[in-house]
Structure 1
């Protein structure tokens, strides 16, 4: 045996009842995980679909391992663990990047490293599966990162800032109508500020990209360049190629009978404008996301609640929303969703508590 290698499964002694229960659970989990990857594959096409089906096939090999160990002791199929069941439910109905992020976490929790009945190859498979799923999830994260960032940050800004504003004003002892008006004003002012800021940000980024994007008309000069000159090579060098590589590529392009402008990488770069979006679209999205969060602390006052009751209800509603957005960020990033949710909750409540105490200290009376 190779030094440091783990021995294979111990099958010489009769397995105990605990061994059989553990193996049956592994068998159920492997079957369920294979089904998850097959379900995810139905929502994908091309290379991603092939990768997911290959992962399902690998889980099938692990399933066969436990089936062999169990033999006629396999009995009736067991239910997979709750996490795998939830993952399967989501995979069948959604197939989103959040499901891939959950699958990544599931692969990271594999017990095979510490189980002598699992082979070293199986433990290594699970570790590599985590990286494969991480890569697939990263593709989805990249596709929605801009929109998701705007949604989470906008909604959280609205939740935290307007809760802080409402609690601070309410703690000062002013009339409920003033608190309601202040909350609505904060909602509108914050949403407009977010929208305007996002518009300026996106417009500025697009303008910077436009200034750095090669002039498409420059390509018309290619057929007329001096073959012995180095102007095209200078363009390639300015865009990051080394001197020798630039000279060779310029000679290749200019040596063609009719230089193909579209094939000249120095004169045609990836257009990032589509990924950035438009300033107006970004502004409207930020306005809506902020407003959707900022309206929650105002809801109790809109339905007629007053005093401490309104404060408590607003805090509970905002806390639930903060937990949800924090958990969503955790799921997308592959981090523990509960921990991320609690962190978001602590930050939001911390900011609100500061303004509430200031309202009590500086206000005209208690709530």
Structure 2
């Protein structure tokens, strides 16, 4: 029980804290249901900690807890997403929510509670990072491809329209830009992935040491050169070569002993995928972005109205992609969305001004 009678303002604030703690604990339990092993145990431990915070506010409220209040809008959205999806997006939101805890500046919260919230942010950051790493490659390609299509084709449409050409020319230019850009992106990804695979294949050690060793000149053992070229010290290389030739009988460091040749397991976050898969994904991502600026022209709109609607549609998509990037990176979705919007509209404005200049010169 509290030592004093709380004020109405304190009761209101504490009840809100209580509702938010319950909501956050429910989020972690919902996420835990979709996990197993270590991640499940971590999420349940976070929920248990939120339960301890809940008890603190209940103790302060005493008999003033009253009917349950609704959690904040942020926590309600977070709970809905956790129940429906349980994805890395929810963890990214939870990370941001933990970083905004008011306990560090609230005298009614204990120092332990404030410390808990700081640690919870780092715990959730670690869990979210696992998910971010799993989708980093494909997410980068999707955002890069779609944004490239949006900005480049909007810029092309704006520049062409500013020269004063007819709407049908603007439409054909936009379609040509879509196809050219998507094909270029697809071809570039195909060549990039295929070339990287060929470089990795050329760098992978072969098993020639197994077949050639029995026939080597023992007095001029070139097998040592193989191991030296692979980065071993001379002592290790000579010991490995002797073992391969069945001559090793020295009392050397056991760590120098030969282990079966095997390829190192590739890092799961750097898996290249297939060249055709990368090419088709890049083509589709670019095309999905590039088609947005020409939608008004596809439906027969002309003039300033078509350009204004094109800019509005592209702006909404840029805000959305920027917001998703901000969400996954733990930054402000609004700020990242506005940044994407400013970059895209800036590029479009520059090409529009260039189009006006060329139009006046040619006119």
Band of TM-score, shorter chain: 0.7 to 0.9
Within a 5 Å distance, the mapping from 1:253-332 to structure 2 comes to: 261=260, 267-272=262-267, 275-332=271-328
Compute the displacement of 1:212 (Å): 2.7
- The match for 1:362 among 341, 358, 363 is 358
Compute the displacement of 1:214 (Å): 2.9
Q: Which residue of 1 aligns with 2:127?
A: 136
Alignment of 1:161 with 2:163, yes or no, is no
Q: Which residue of 1 aligns with 2:139?
A: 148
Compute the displacement of 1:48 (Å): 1.2
- The match for 1:340 among 319, 336, 351 is 336
The answer on whether the counterparts of 2:326 and 2:337 sit within 8 Å (CA) in structure 1 is yes
Q: Unpaired runs of 5+ in structure 1?
A: 1-9
Q: Note closer, same or farther for the CA distance 1:163–1:122 as it changes in structure 2 (3 Å cut).
A: same
- The match for 1:191 among 182, 186, 191 is 182
- The match for 1:210 among 201, 204, 220 is 201
TM-score by length of 2: 0.87
After superposition, the CA RMSD in angstroms is 3.2
Determine the C-alpha separation between the residues in 1 that align with 2:54 and 2:86: 23
Q: Which residue of 1 aligns with 2:54?
A: 63
Compute the displacement of 1:252 (Å): 3.2
Q: Which residue of 2 aligns with 1:351?
A: 347
The answer on whether the counterparts of 1:173 and 1:365 sit within 8 Å (CA) in structure 2 is no
Determine the C-alpha separation between the residues in 2 that align with 1:194 and 1:96: 29
Q: Which residue of 2 aligns with 1:103?
A: 94
Q: Which residue of 1 aligns with 2:7?
A: 16
Q: Which range moves more in the overlay, 200-209 or 167-176?
A: 200-209
The answer on whether the counterparts of 1:158 and 1:187 sit within 8 Å (CA) in structure 2 is yes
Q: Which range moves more in the overlay, 200-209 or 180-189?
A: 200-209
- The match for 1:42 among 33, 37, 43 is 33
Determine the C-alpha separation between the residues in 1 that align with 2:78 and 2:107: 27
- The match for 2:168 among 166, 177, 180 is 177
Compute the displacement of 1:365 (Å): 9.9
Compute the displacement of 1:84 (Å): 0.5
Compute the displacement of 1:202 (Å): 1.2
The answer on whether the counterparts of 1:230 and 1:247 sit within 8 Å (CA) in structure 2 is no
Determine the C-alpha separation between the residues in 1 that align with 2:282 and 2:153: 15
Q: Which range moves more in the overlay, 201-210 or 22-31?
A: 201-210
Compute the displacement of 1:12 (Å): 3.0
Determine the C-alpha separation between the residues in 2 that align with 1:224 and 1:95: 59
Q: Which residue of 1 aligns with 2:247?
A: none
Q: Which residue of 1 aligns with 2:254?
A: 252
The answer on whether the counterparts of 2:2 and 2:59 sit within 8 Å (CA) in structure 1 is no
Determine the C-alpha separation between the residues in 2 that align with 1:309 and 1:126: 50
Determine the C-alpha separation between the residues in 1 that align with 2:314 and 2:228: 54
Q: Deviations over 1:72-126 (max 9, x none)?
A: 2111111110000000011110111111110000000001101111111111110
Q: Secondary structure at the match of 1:276?
A: coil
Compute the displacement of 1:208 (Å): 2.2
Q: Note closer, same or farther for the CA distance 1:303–1:215 as it changes in structure 2 (3 Å cut).
A: same
Determine the C-alpha separation between the residues in 1 that align with 2:209 and 2:275: 28
